Amino acid sequence: MADPIRIWVAAQHHKAFLNGGWAYVRVGAEVTGWAGGDRRTTRTRMALSSLAAALADLPKGAALRIETAAEDAKLLDGVFVEPADPPTDDLDLRAAIAGLLKGHEARLAVMSVQPRTPLAFTIAWADQAADKAKMTGAFRVAIPRPNLAKSGAAAT
């Protein structure tokens, strides 16, 4: 079996202002990444948005290793394991993710956040995205290739 595609996902949310951001970095045939954010949102919606964006254009049948920090893993766990109490929020994103995961062997891994790692890089982009969303509203942007080259993702 080929090495799995590695994906780092992160979400940020400011409780007082209700703005949030998300980001992902993915290593497959190449290193790619996107970030986005919105106003009047939740951390759960940002975590789900990150995962949905990361899964959007994957080759069919690819094995996936999705890595995230503990706080986001708690929010995403219900996507991978049937929860005892079915969620009632963000059903649109949950349905989209379920469809995108079909045909993939996906594993969610909880990672500790260490400096100068792809996860730390992804979290920093999610934080910047939350700040931008506070000022400009909803957006989505590709993380520039020169920045991705500094993420450390290609070396993993």
- pLDDT at residue 135, as a whole number: 94
Mean pLDDT of the chain: 93
Is 146 a residue whose pLDDT tops 60? yes
pLDDT in tens, 3-56: 899 999 999 999 988 999 999 999 988 999 999 999 999 999 999 999 999 999
The H-or-E segment that residue 25 falls in is strand 20-27
Q: Quick one: pLDDT band at residue 1, thresholds 50, 70, 90?
A: low
Specify if 119 maps to a domain: yes
Please give the average per-residue pLDDT across 110-132, as a whole number. Answer: 96
Specify if 89 maps to a domain: yes
Domain housing 18 = 5-133+143-149
Specify if 15 maps to a domain: yes
Specify if 154 maps to a domain: no
Specify if 138 maps to a domain: no
- pLDDT at residue 145, as a whole number: 94
% of residues, the chain, pLDDT over 90: 79
Number of domains in the chain: 1
Which CATH number goes with the domain that contains 55? 3.30.420.10
- In 32-144, which residue ranges form alpha helices assigned H by DSSP? 43-55, 70-80, 91-101, 118-136
Specify if 155 maps to a domain: no
- pLDDT at residue 156, as a whole number: 66
- Please tell me what DSSP assigns to residue 144: P
Q: What are phi and psi of 32, to 5 degrees?
A: -130, 160
- Please tell me what DSSP assigns to residue 103: T
Specify if 76 maps to a domain: yes
Specify if 156 maps to a domain: no
